[in-house]
Structure 1
Amino acid sequence: MLIAVISDTHMTTPGAWLQDVYEKHLAPADALLHCGDITTPAVWSFFMQHPNFHCVRGNCDWDPALVDELDPMLSVKLGGLVVGLTHGWGPRPQVPEKVAEAFGPKYDLVCYGHTHARDWGKRRGVQLCNPGSLGESGSLAHITIGPDGALDCQFLQGPPRL
Structure 2
Amino acid sequence: MKIGVISDTHLKSMPEEARELFERLSKEVDFLLHAGDLGKLDFYIELKDIFKDSLYAVRGNMDIEPLATDLPEVFKKDFDGITISMTHSYGAPADAKKNAWNTLKSTKPDIVIYGHSHHPYNKYEDKVLFFNPGSLFDEDYAPYTSYGIIEIEKGMIIDSEIIRVNW
| Aligned sequence identity (%) | 27
Q: Secondary structure at the match of 1:110?
A: strand
1:2 aligns with 2:12: no
Letter in 2 for 1:115: S
* Structural mapping, 1:21-36, within 5 Å: 21-36=21-36
Letter in 2 for 1:154: E
Counterpart among 149, 153, 165 of residue 158 in structure 1? 165
For 1:150 and 1:68, the matched residues in 2 are separated by: 32
So what's the TM-score if we normalise by structure 1?
0.90
User: Which stretches in structure 1 are left out of the alignment for 5+ residues?
Assistant: none
For 1:122 and 1:153, the matched residues in 2 are separated by: 10
1:68 aligns with 2:87: no
Give the paired residue count.
159
Tell me which residue corresponds to 1:122.
124
Counterpart among 125, 144, 152 of residue 151 in structure 2? 144
Q: Secondary structure at the match of 2:60?
A: coil
For 1:70 and 1:90, the matched residues in 2 are separated by: 19
Tell me which residue corresponds to 1:16.
16
Query: Following TM superposition, by how much is the alpha carbon of 1:123 offset from its aligned partner in structure 2, in angstroms?
Result: 3.8
Query: Following TM superposition, by how much is the alpha carbon of 1:135 offset from its aligned partner in structure 2, in angstroms?
Result: 1.6
Query: Following TM superposition, by how much is the alpha carbon of 1:27 offset from its aligned partner in structure 2, in angstroms?
Result: 4.0
1:57 aligns with 2:64: no
Residues 82 and 155 in structure 2, CA contact (< 8 A), matched pair in contact too: no
